[in-house]
Structure 1
Amino acid sequence: MNFILPKYFRDALESLRAIFKVRASSHTSLLSESRVSRASKMMTPFVLRRRKDQVLKDLPKKTERIEWCETTPLQRTIYEEAMQRSRSAVEALPKDEKALLEIVAEPDDEIANGNGDGKSKGKTRPKKGVLMTSNASGSNVLMELRKASCHPMLFRRLFDDAKINLIARHCLQEPDFQDSSYDLVVEDMQVMNDAELQRFCLQYKSVRKHALDNSCFLDAGKVTHFTTPLGAV
């Protein structure tokens, strides 16, 4: 109450605190309930509370719109490289490990057009191009493809090894890296993506000159799509 109307309750702040500091007991429980009820009634005019089910009818309808975006050349290259790495990894597996690959089956046309009793009437056929391994390699591939679809800065393509070595050497001048080893700094940077390295360069003065232009963040299909005028979309 003092927070809502400080001019009116500033002088009575201690009295209000004393009311709510009273510990409830067998003799004072009824009195405490009465005080809480009175406080609630006093606060009601100052607090507007409406639940979602109460305001839902007053809200505009939710509109969902799907916009298909073309990938940039760099995104497309990264995506295709991830696909090729996945194929090469599968081809390099020994025969006994390839046998662990499970073909994800989908219903045949006869099943889809069944009589509605939930029982299959024909054979299942494998879904082409979908393989599931017994480990997490499949999820890793999907994650790489998702990253490539989101933004190329989630990979390390712009900061090559030569630039990383130079950044690591210069950042040793910073107080935060006085006790650090050059080799360990390089090792840590090699697992960072372009976005992380860009943020790192902007964080320290000695390596700020190695930072890329901010236009590097615009090289993504969805960014290009949503930066176009709305009338042209």
Structure 2
Amino acid sequence: MSTNCQMKPFQLFGLNWMSLLHTYGIGCILADEMGLGKTCQVISLMCHLVESYENDNSSHDARPWPNLIVVPPSTYNNWLAEFKKFAPSLSVAGYRGSQSERAEIAYEVEQDPEAYHVVLATYSQINSSTDIEAMRDCDLHAAIFDEGHKMKNPETKIYKDLRRIPSKWKMLLTGTPVQNNLLEMTSLLSFINPEIFEGHMESIRYIFSTKVSVRDVSNGAFLYSERVKRARTILEPFILQRRKDQVLSDMPQKTCTVVHCDMPSGQKPIYDEYEETFRMEPSQRAVKSKGRQNDQNNIWMQLRKAAIHPLLFRRHFTDKSVEEMGSILMDRLSQEELHQPDLKHLIQELKNSSDFELHLWCRDYPRLLKKFDYPPEAELESGKVQKLLELIDQYQKNGDRVLVFSKFSRVIEILREVLSTKDVDHRVLMGNTNVSERQTMIDEFNRDETIPVFLLTTGAGGTGINLTSANKVIIFDQSDNPQDDIQAENRAHRLGQKRDVEIIRLIARHTIEELVLKACQKKIELANKVTGAVEEVDQEAASENLEKEVRKMMEEQMTPP
């Protein structure tokens, strides 16, 4: 390891723990809380394996490399940078590029495996049978998977594909608590230690199959917690999971604040309309929506958006103005530019668009469409946007720097326009941000203290990113799974942070967001009582579960005592 890397005692413990299990050929899961330097610990293990082998001339053990490390695309460049910084003596082969370029890299590793200590790949570029076969030919010593909770379901393609990659030892890394859903945890352990767990999976699944509802915290939860305690005793040797408050006595504090935002006059009637529809029976909703297909398809999501910003709907642009816009565009632009075969389809696309999406057309073609656009002040017709600007102004005066998270890309785009109009310097990271640009943008924000704001989607910017230069985190709108927002918070509250971190949740007053917050807090409370972690579920299931819980709360509010 480079002298630039001064490992903390708990990280040295992690290195020794990984090394011990590696010595006995037992796969493991490093599940430290986000921000505790799992990347550094893994790099130190790679160095330890190489140095131990090279310094022991009498060793008859197999060469402990090349080692495959698979990471999310958003963290690939950060992993490369960390290897260069902390382990410049290690040879790292970057497995990326076109299919032919990847094949060439794999061939080089296959022909001269001793020359490459690490093969660094992303999940998105190791997802074909060709890539899997290429890795099978590389004589891998170890296979390490960052964001390893992706392997929680043995029925998924990613689980089955990556399991086909042979290696002498496997390890998973995850900042998402793994001791939350015991069935999923056993799937992870079976992935890394099939010879230990596969023959006993049916028995384990039977023991761990009990589930507890959010509404039953006292009775069933107690019985389940007893099972969890016994299960942890069995599974503890394979998992190392530590929290910041356990290992970092000097870690800056993290405080959480809820800030309520009053909806302005231009927003509240829209929200009230959607809430009324949300309370209706499905048959009544179809009549109420008056044919607006988006409204019928997912009234739950429409209600969530109504609490955020009216520009997420089409209210300013009338059918007549949309038809005029379509005629002008069809007359002046080519079909290639419009991506529509005729005027009818173009107008239908425009009618299904929100005010903000139609504004983007006006912005991109001002000579043709500027007269149809909404006034600039329309972007401020949101209680949350108004409160956000108020907070950012206060933070700039105090020298604070802020991360702003939204689960919606379109909301981030609206906020980008708002900040640009207000001349607030900022950076933006979303799912469609080029992977090669992400680390450059992150480094620029961390390095340049004059940039006060970083806008991120929760999905793209919530994991594997270090933004400790910020000390304020604003959750502009909540995710369906509270674990996603906790991950986002930890972009700033992590190892390397020098200042106390404040988490601010913006909640539209007297809206469904208050119930969403309450439901998420209940979920965290239950998880802490039972297993100490929030259950990890897919986004669709999380949204459905949250909607059901909020509907129950609404029914309870309407039921007289």
TM-score, length-scaled by structure 2: 0.24
* Cα drift, residue 213 of structure 1: 3.5
Matched with 2:378 is 216
Amino acid at match of 2:378: C
Partner amino acid, structure 1, of 2:267: Q
Larger strand fraction of residues: 2
Residues of 2 paired with 1:223 and 1:166: CA distance? Answer: 31
Asked if the contact 2:314/2:353 (under 8 Å) is kept, the reply is yes
Contact 2:310 2:382 (8 Å CA) reproduced: yes
Secondary structure of 2:260 counterpart: coil
Secondary structure of the 2:267 match is: helix
Alignment match, 2:263? 71
- Tell me what 2:356 maps to: 195
Alignment of 1:132-151 (within 5 A): 140-151=298-309
- SS at 2:262 equivalent: coil
> Does the Cα contact within 8 Å between 1:154 and 1:193 map onto a contact in 2?
yes
Aligned partner of 2:540 in structure 1 is none
Shift of 1:86: 3.8
- Residue 346 of structure 2 corresponds to 185
Write the distance in 1 (CA, Å) between the matches of 2:358 and 2:345. Answer: 15
SS at match of 1:64: strand
| Pair 1:32–1:58, CA change in 2 (3 A) | same
TM-fit CA distance, 1:67: 0.5
Residue 197 of structure 1: CA displacement?
A: 1.1
Q: Take 2:339 and 2:284, find their aligned partners in 1: how far apart are those partners?
A: 44
Aligned residue for 1:66, secondary structure, equals strand
Question: What aligned pairs does 1:1-233 form with structure 2 within 5 A after superposition?
Answer: 46-47=85-86, 56-87=248-279, 89=281, 92=284, 140-172=298-330, 173-175=332-334, 176-177=337-338, 180-209=341-370, 210-228=372-390, 230=394
Find runs of 4+ consecutive structure 1 residues off by over 6 angstroms: none
Q: Judging changes above 3 Å, is the alpha-carbon distance between structure 1 residues 179 and 57 closer, same or farther for their aligned structure 2 residues?
A: same
Deviates more, 1:179-188 or 1:52-61: 52-61
TM-superposed CA distance for 1:141, in Å, is 3.1
Task: Describe the shift of the 1:187–1:47 C-alpha distance in structure 2 as closer, same or farther (beyond 3 A).
Answer: same
- State, as a whole percentage, how many aligned pairs show the same letter: 25
* Paired AA for residue 323 in structure 2: N
Question: Which amino acid letter does the alignment assign opposite residue 376 of structure 2?
Answer: N
Q: 1:55 to 1:167 in 2, by over 3 A?
A: farther
Corresponding residue SS for 1:59: coil
Aligned residue identity for 1:187: Q
SS of 1:192's equivalent? coil
CA distance in 1, matches of 2:62, 2:282: 74
3-state SS of the aligned residue for 1:226? helix
For residue 146 of structure 1, give the secondary structure of its aligned residue in structure 2: helix
- RMSD over aligned CA atoms reads 4.2
Q: Using the alignment, how far apart are the partners of 2:350 and 2:282 within structure 1?
A: 29
Of structures 1 and 2, the one scoring higher in RCO (CA 8 A, sep 6+) is 1
In the aligned structure 1, how far is the partner of 2:66 from the partner of 2:296?
A: 61
Q: Does the CA-based 8 Å contact 1:174-1:204 persist in structure 2?
A: no
Q: Which amino acid aligns with 1:60?
A: P
Q: CA deviation at 1:76?
A: 0.8
CA deviations on 1:1-50 (whole Å, 9 max, x unpaired) are xxxxxxxxxxxxxxxxxxxxxxxxxxxx86955999xxxxxx999518xx
How far off is 1:230 after superposition? 3.7
Q: Structure 2 vs 1, CA of residues 182 and 219 (structure 1 numbering), >3 Å: closer, same or farther? A: same
**What is the TM-score when the length of structure 1 is the normalising length?**
0.52
**Residue 83 of structure 1, CA deviation:** 2.7
Deviations 1:185-212 (A, max 9, x none): 1111111111111122222355441333
Structure whose CA Rg is larger: 1
Aligned residues: 155
The verdict on how the C-alpha distance between 1:58 and 1:83 changes in structure 2, with shifts beyond 3 A counting, is same
Aligned mates of 1:35, 1:195 — CA distance in 2:
50
Cross-structure match for 1:131? none
Confirm or deny: 8 A CA contact 2:278 2:300 kept in the other structure.
no
Q: Once the 2 structures are TM-superposed, how far is the Cα of residue 81 of structure 1 from its aligned partner?
A: 1.1
Letter of the aligned partner of 2:346 in structure 1?
V
